[in-house]
Amino acid sequence: MAIYQDKKTKKWYYRVYYKDLQGNNKQKWSKNFNLKKEAQVAEMEFINKIKNNDYSSSITFKELWLNFLDFKKDKVKITSYESIKKKETYFTTLYNIKMVDYNISHFNQWKEEIIKKNFSTTYKNNIYKTLRAVFNYGIKYKNLLSLTSILDKMTNFTDPNELKKEMLFFTYEEFKKFIEQEKDLTYKAFFELLYFCGLRQGEALALTWNDINFDTGELTINKNLTTKLKGLRYKILSPKTKSSYRTLIIKNDNLINDLKTMYEQATKMYDFTRNWFTFGNVNPLSTTTIQNHKNKNCKLAEVKQIRIHDFRHSCASLLINKGASITLIAKYLGHGDIATTLNTYSHMYKNELETIADSLKNL
């Protein structure tokens, strides 16, 4: 803490070193003052604000948002960080509001703006969830305690008239019709893997030959691939959750034989290593090309168009129909807990629940 004079302008200013509420070292350079005494008074006022934690009283939403992004950057996966950052455009109308002045009216006005957008209720609530995370950060790390009561009054988005997006899946008969149309061995094995093993697309694309043990039939899922980062063709990341790390046994003869044939073909190529991608060799398959193959096969097979992620739902349906318990399905799909599996696929257990009820009928 000291007062300085600019030798050129002869103006006075102060510089204060301090720690913010997170314990980070900060420094404050003041504006220029005509008199030394003015700079001294301003310096003492700022020091008192720091002591009373009042220096955050002038923080705007934009400043809070930028601080929040800095805080999140090294605490979440890069894909999650980019997803958060992309939502910035939905908060610009709040930028100039001082957080100490923020009230429920500001929130309601913001909510009306989001309601007008042609987004699903799920995505609107995803944006809302980010806003709440920003405010909780402000309360915890910026001493913005006034936001606590406002958070209690804020509500999420609801639309009773919105139809829930239908979960689509292939029955085994539909999948057989679909896969018969695929003439390229690599894409055939890719869709077989999604259907019989329930992998996420990124998990399948991240596989290398090192992850497949043909002697034991073991398939190891230990990474994920994303193509959603700006400026990068793809990036290999850790799996979505800790539970996503898993090892499956491939028992389907068609799938294991197709993978073996692909492997034999790959080993004959120049500079082959087991670090090559299972689906794509030196570089992974293009997600756009995968989509095109899927669309074409559905059309030729005259089966419904499903999303790539619906192959995962198709696998769950297949396992349920084969009598697999919810616990085993959760482990097979790499869910973090059984609740996730139940919430996603409970409707598929309707027949099983009726069977149980029937078994109790005559007791």
Q: What are phi and psi of 276, to 5 degrees?
A: -65, 150
pLDDT of residue 309: 93
What distance in Å separates the CA atoms of residue 277 and residue 120, rounded to the nearest whole number?
A: 35
Rounded percentage of the chain residues whose pLDDT exceeds 90: 58
What distance in Å separates the CA atoms of residue 159 and residue 163, rounded to the nearest whole number?
A: 9
pLDDT higher than threshold 70 for residue 19: no
Closest CA to 54 of 142, 126, 124: 142
Name residue 208's beta-bridge partners: 277
pLDDT of residue 159: 81
pLDDT of residue 110: 96
- What residue has token string 């909780």? 136
What distance in Å separates the CA atoms of residue 75 and residue 81, rounded to the nearest whole number?
A: 9
What distance in Å separates the CA atoms of residue 338 and residue 335, rounded to the nearest whole number?
A: 7
For residues 1-28, average pLDDT = 78
Report the CATH fold assignment for 172-357: hpI Integrase; Chain A (1.10.443)
Q: CA dihedral in degrees (209, 221, 258, 285; nearest 10)?
A: -70
Q: What is the CATH code of the structural domain delimited by 61-153?
A: 1.10.150
Q: Which of 52-66, 150-164, 246-260, 279-293 has the lowest mean pLDDT?
A: 52-66
55 or 233, which is more confident?
Answer: 233
pLDDT of residue 30: 85
Report pLDDT digits (tens) over 263-314.
Answer: 999 999 999 999 999 999 999 999 999 999 999 999 999 999 999 999 999 9
pLDDT bucket at 349, cuts 50 / 70 / 90: low
How far, in Å, are 187, 258, 262 from residue 255 at the CA level?
A: 11, 5, 11
What distance in Å separates the CA atoms of residue 198 and residue 314, rounded to the nearest whole number?
A: 8
Report pLDDT digits (tens) over 126-145.
Answer: 999 999 999 999 888 887 88
pLDDT averaged over every residue in the chain: 88
pLDDT of residue 336: 78
Q: Which of 150-164, 192-206, 262-276 has the lowest mean pLDDT?
A: 150-164
For the question of whether the overall pTM of this predicted structure is more than 0.75, the answer is no
Contact (CB, 8 A) for 69 and 85: yes
Q: Is 264 exposed, middle or buried (0-12, 13-18, 19+ CB in 10 A)?
A: exposed
The DSSP string of 70-111 is HHHHTTS-HHHHHHHHHGGGGSGGGTT-BGGG--HHHHHHHH
The DSSP string of 237-277 is E--SSGGG-EEEE---HHHHHHHHHHHHHHHTSTT--TTSB
For residues 89-94, average pLDDT = 95
pLDDT of residue 231: 85
Contacts of 295 (CB under 8 A, 6+ apart): 305
Q: What are phi and psi of 220, to 5 degrees?
A: -105, 125
What distance in Å separates the CA atoms of residue 331 and residue 268, rounded to the nearest whole number?
A: 36
pLDDT higher than threshold 80 for residue 356: no
Domain extents in the chain: 2-52, 61-153, 172-357
Closest CA to 202 of 222, 231, 217, 184: 222
The DSSP string of 98-163 is BGGG--HHHHHHHHHHHHTSS--HHHHHHHHHHHHHHHHHHHHHS--TTHHHHHHH------TTSP
pLDDT of residue 250: 93
